[in-house]
Structures are given as C-alpha cells and as structure tokens.
Amino acid sequence: MAEQKGLGAHLGGHLRENGMLVALVAIVVLFSVLLQLQPQPVSFLKAQNITNIFLQNGHVIILALGMLLVIVAGHIDLSVGSVAAFTGAVAAWLTVNVGLPFYIVIPLTLVVGGLIGAAQGYWVAFWRIPSFIVTLAGMMVFRGATMWMLGGQNIGPFPKGFQALSNGFIPDLTGIGRPHGLTLIVIAIAIGLQLWLGLRARARDAEFGITPEPSGLFWARNLIIAAATAFVGWQLASFRGLPNVMVVLAVLTALYAFFTENTVTGRRIYALGGNEKAAKLSGIRTDRLVFLCFVNMGVLAALAGMIVTARLNSATPKAGTGFELDAIASVFIGGASMTGGSGKIVGVVIGALIMGVMNMGMSILGIGSDYQMMIKGLVLLVAVIFDVYNKNK
C-alpha cells in the first residue's frame, strides 16, 4: 500500500514530465498505425525517417536549448529565426566569397552570434527594456540585414567539409561495415550510462533523505527508454550510422543538462526566474545572468543557422522563418513554465521531438501545411492550458 501511495504521489508531482514522454510515445504509435492503414502501407519508424527527424529538426532542438534558459530567466527571444538566417548568411559569405575553410568559418560565425546576443542582452539586462520589444526589433533588423547581405539572392554551394556539419555521418572506425559498428558501440554506452546515472541519482536521494521514485516506476521508465534507444540505434546502424547533427545534439543536451542541474550559475538562473527580487536580495547579480542567457542564445542561434545553411547547401533570404515559434513551442510543450523558474533540458528535447515527429508524420500522410499549422497551434495551446491547470490545482 505504501508503494502505491508513493507511486501516486510521484506521478502527481511529475505529471508534466511523465506526460510529455507518454505523449511522444503515443504520437509515434498513432502515426505508425495510421501509415499502416494507408492503401500503400508505409513504415513510419524505418531508418531513413528516424535519421530525417534529427536532420530536419536538429536546429529546433538547438534553439530550444537556448530558449529554455531565456524563458526560465523570465524573458523571451523573438529574434532567433532572423539571427539564424543572418549568421547562416555570414557563414556562407565567409565560405564562398572570402574562401575561408570551414574550421575557421564555424568559430567566427559563433562569435558573431554571441556578439548579437550580447547586443540584445545588454538592453534587456542593464537598461531593463522588455525582452519582447528588444528581440522584436532584432527580428526585423536581422531579417533586413540578411536580405542586404545576400542581395536578394542565394549563396552556395559549399565545400564538403561545411556540408558535413549537417549532412555528414560519423565514420565506422570498427571496420564492420553494416550494421554500423561504431553506432552500436555508442548506443550501448549510452544505455549503460543512462542506467548508471539513474541509479546514482536514486542513491544520492537516499543519502540526503529524499524519497526516490518508486522502484517499479523507475525500472519501467528506464527499461522503456533503453528499449527505445536500442531500437533507434539499431535502425541508424542499419542505415548510415550516427548523423553528425545527432552527435552535436547529444553533446549539447548533456552539457546543458549538467549546467542547469549541477552548477551554481545554472541554479541561479532558475532562482532568477522564480523570484527576481529574492534572487537580488540573496546577492545574485541578476543582470549578469540575463546578459549571459542572451549571449548563449545568440551563439546557439548561429550554430542552428549554420546547420540549416549546410543542410540546404545554400544561404537564402527567407531562411529561419518561423524558427522562433518552433523553439518557443518546444520549450512550453516540454514542460517549461510561462512565468519562468521551471523547465528541464530533457523535457525541451522531448518537446522538440514531438514537434518533429508531428511534422514528419503529417507530411507523410499528405496533410496540408495549413492544417499542420492549426494542429501544432492547438497542441501548444493544450500544453499551456495544462501548465496553468497544474498551477491552479
């Protein structure tokens, strides 16, 4: 009976976090069934589709990681799509027109993104101008700057080294061939690391007197995640292996999860979003934290811009349109609070994957872009209503 109460209490306290994971699984199952019912059945979870989900939505996950910190701090950034387009144009100009190699272009473009984030963060953090206004202005300024830099024309194509940032795959150093041996090894390590970190967290909770989640739920959740990871890994290994983008996403997710959960600065950002006045009274330099969040957002927008530019093999004036909406939606669908102070990196990744799976599933089913926009808007509205309901409850 005690175990049941513990299970109910845990599920109630982590309703949003567990609900998003269940929602992702349910959406995958739904599209898998619908596609099998078509006159010409299609396998939704085939290797090529799984690879394309990461290739086509990697930029959304990257932007959402930065947007989470901005939203947790109690702000918003509407300019990320335009900044991604502008920095992509900068990278294209440096690569094609100037002739710089990709290993110089990439860090230079990241610096440009950081400077843009610093410029916007300065007005928000130190002049107290609302972030909505500053980034709305930035959205228009950098959209115009993109058109000016490109002269209304596309720039491309790019060398193979730059294209590999988005379209490349990790080579198989094991020499096995197919299935991709290195991918299988990496997936096995990832599954082992996931279980080890989970057990370590439970042991740490017990050490500090914190009641851990019920053991049955812990093992069920981790085994489901391990099975899903193994399935995705096998599909990727059977195709072309791990995409470079997926490796970048995995590294960024791990770094930001560690930063937000295990560093003083990360915890202070959450304190800032939870109660700025209390954070100031406790000695936290809130203006510096806000500035840092926007600089970080600029760097990630530049990375996302380069990935999209490399995938398209061309910098276009209309690139980045709607990116800010996808990033913000991913953050809120992933469990972040509208008022700041709460949200997890893993939840954001799940939210972005939900958006990506929905985009691909609806496209394969032949659903028009008009209906796709309406459906995604309703999903975002439901997520926000769910957040408000939980708080009122």
Q: Write the pLDDT tens digit of every residue in 19-74.
A: 777 788 888 888 888 888 888 888 888 888 888 888 888 999 999 999 999 999 99
Q: Which domain holds residue 222?
A: 169-242
Decide if pLDDT at 390 tops 50. Answer: yes
Q: Is residue 119 part of a domain?
A: yes
Half-sphere exposure of 62 (CA within 13 A, CB side): 29
Query: Of 116 and 246, which is predicted with more confidence?
Result: 116
CB contact set of 164 (below 8 Å; sequence gap of 6+): 244, 310
Note the pLDDT of residue 3.
45
CB contact set of 151 (below 8 Å; sequence gap of 6+): none
* Domain-terminating residue out of 221, 242, 263: 242
63 and 174 within one domain: no
Q: Is residue 49 part of a domain?
A: yes
249 and 219 within one domain: no
Note the pLDDT of residue 7.
55
320 and 202 within one domain: no
Confidence grade of residue 4 (pLDDT, cut at 50, 70, 90)? very low
Overall number of domains in the chain: 2
* Cα gap 63→167, rounded to integer Å: 18
Q: Which two tokens stand for residue 75?
A: 């702000």
65 closest CA partner among 318, 314, 251: 251
70 and 94 within one domain: yes
The region of weakest confidence among 1-5, 245-249, 282-286, 359-363 is 1-5
353 and 217 within one domain: no
231 and 105 within one domain: no
Q: Is residue 291 part of a domain?
A: yes
142 and 53 within one domain: yes
Distance, C-alpha 219 to centroid of its chain: 26
217 closest CA partner among 3, 29, 1: 3
115 and 134 within one domain: yes
Rounded to 5°, the CA angle 335-266-391 comes to: 30
219 and 131 within one domain: no
Q: Is residue 342 part of a domain?
A: yes
pTM of the predicted model over 0.75: yes
CB contact set of 218 (below 8 Å; sequence gap of 6+): 198, 202, 212
321 and 280 within one domain: yes
Q: Is residue 12 part of a domain?
A: no
Decide if pLDDT at 355 tops 50. Answer: yes
Note the pLDDT of residue 251.
92
